[in-house]
């Protein structure tokens, strides 16, 4: 079985490298790069805006009345993971990847449980703090991820990696401490009416709850990312094989959670009674899966570092558009904090693109070294840039797999 697995992996790697190394003119490459980037940015902006809409704005019933917030975040996670399983199965078959579990099931289950908990924390945080805070929180997690990796896998980072992480962390902290971060203009405005003082106290309390959910998300998501990377290293799992089993078991964990808490029937009733929610949920899940096609295509042709630069642009665009669409309040000091974060992310993107250009004389797969999964993003395969050093060409397929 080891020989057949090796042959299967060799065939998949050869096919992957053949597709990525296919000759294209500079103009064709530029057009494809722009197309993939536009697809990723556009689809994930839709995904982010719908996340905020679903969790913060109440839905009317079919008669147009009885406004109610969607409260069953685990149900949304369950649907997301089912879509992710279908996507992973299709991509694994397309690439000829092994479908049997490459690591013990209990290890997949541990990662899956942490994954579901992290996702749930993210959705719960959206009920109490603005989407912008959550997006910045995903940048804030750079430092926890690096620290977890340092402790668990003894990974080392260059000085510029630490400086970027510290700058982002500082900018996010400055943003959180110098202005409003609650979701008053959405759920609180629609559902509550009280005196100014009691409302202010309530918003302060809900912000604290939101920060606690966000802190739990950061810790669990950083741990999940590190454990997934460890699975890749210890058991040589392929990208979509791991995605298939982690999301499959995440579906089981989330379904079990819905059943044990007695919220499955309520979530289904909410979906049936509120057609607009069903539409938003389907668009949310569809944009997640469609986004993965563009993500996979860009990684396949241009490498994970170019994807990381694209994701940074998407993050900035999502934050600015969220302010525009949902009318969040912002202070001048918060704007300064955003400038710090955007500058650090732009520098990180510049490093990614620079390293990609330097790698052009060689096969594209050699530009990837270390990527970790943003486990709560669409289909759990968003890549986050961590290092710009190039591995040997023989590591091409495993580097691509380190999402």
Which pLDDT tens digit goes with each residue over 169-205? 888 888 878 877 766 444 444 444 444 444 444 444 5
Give the single-character DSSP code of 373: E
Measured from the Cβ of residue 175, the count of other Cβ atoms closer than 10 Å reads 25
What's the pLDDT at 370? 34
Give CA separation, 302 vs 22, 30, 360, 398, in Å: 12, 10, 10, 16
pLDDT at res. 200: 43
Q: Could you tell me the two tokens for 379? A: 């289909």
Is residue 253 a contact partner of residue 118, using CB atoms and an 8 Å limit?
A: no
Token pair belonging to 54: 């679903």
Cβ–Cβ < 8 Å for 229, 153 = yes
* DSSP-derived 3-state class of residue 63: coil
Is the sign of the CA dihedral 348, 225, 157, 400 positive or negative?
A: negative
302's tokens: 């241009």
Where residue 94 falls among pLDDT bands split at 50, 70, 90?
A: confident
Instruction: With both helix axes pointing from N to C terminus, report the angle between 105-126 and 239-261 in degrees, rounded to the nearest 10.
Output: 60
Percent of the chain with pLDDT over 70: 74
Rounded to the nearest 5°, which phi and psi values hold at 308?
Answer: -60, -40
Residues 107-121, mean pLDDT to the nearest whole number:
89
CA 397/CA 232 separation, integer angstroms: 11
| C-alpha–C-alpha distance, residues 232 and 241, integer Å | 10
Closest CA to 386 of 230, 236, 218, 225: 225
């Amino acid at each position: 079985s080891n020989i057949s697995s090796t042959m299967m992996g060799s065939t998949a790697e050869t096919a992957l490298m053949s597709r990525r190394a296919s000759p294209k003119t500079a103009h064709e490459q530029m057009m494809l790069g722009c197309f993939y980037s536009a697809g990723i940015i556009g689809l994930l902006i839709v995904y982010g805006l719908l996340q905020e809409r679903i969790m913060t704005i109440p839905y009317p019933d079919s008669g147009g009345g009885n406004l109610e917030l969607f409260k069953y975040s685990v149900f949304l996670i369950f649907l997301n993971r089912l879509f992710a399983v279908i996507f992973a199965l299709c991509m694994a078959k397309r690439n000829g990847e092994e479908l049997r579990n490459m690591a013990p099931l209990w290890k997949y289950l541990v990662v899956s449980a942490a994954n579901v908990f992290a996702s749930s924390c993210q959705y719960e945080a959206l009920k109490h703090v603005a989407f912008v805070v959550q997006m910045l929180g995903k940048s804030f997690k750079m430092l926890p991820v690096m620290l977890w990796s340092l402790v668990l896998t003894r990974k080392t980072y260059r000085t510029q990696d630490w400086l970027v992480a510290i700058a982002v962390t500082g900018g996010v902290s400055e943003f959180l401490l110098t202005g409003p971060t609650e979701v008053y203009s959405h759920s609180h405005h629609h559902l509550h009416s009280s005196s100014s003082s009691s409302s202010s106290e309530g918003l302060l309390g809900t912000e604290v709850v939101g920060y606690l959910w966000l802190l739990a998300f950061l810790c669990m998501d950083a741990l999940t990312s590190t454990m997934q990377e460890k699975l890749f290293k210890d058991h040589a799992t392929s990208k979509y094989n791991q995605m298939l089993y982690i999301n499959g078991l995440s579906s089981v964990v989330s379904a079990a959670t819905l059943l044990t808490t007695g919220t499955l029937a309520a979530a289904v009733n909410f979906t049936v009674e509120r057609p607009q929610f069903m539409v938003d949920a389907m668009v949310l899940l569809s944009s997640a899966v469609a986004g993965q096609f563009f993500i996979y295509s860009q990684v396949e042709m241009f490498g994970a570092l170019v994807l990381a630069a694209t994701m940074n642009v998407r993050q900035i665009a999502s934050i600015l558009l969220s302010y525009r669409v949902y009318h969040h309040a912002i202070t001048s000091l918060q704007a300064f904090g955003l400038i710090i974060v955007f500058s650090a992310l732009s520098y990180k993107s510049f490093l990614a693109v620079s390293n990609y250009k330097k790698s052009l004389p060689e096969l594209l797969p050699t530009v990837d070294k270390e990527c970790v999964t943003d486990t709560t993003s669409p289909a759990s395969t968003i890549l986050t840039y961590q290092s710009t050093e190039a591995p040997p060409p023989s590591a091409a397929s495993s580097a691509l797999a380190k999402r």
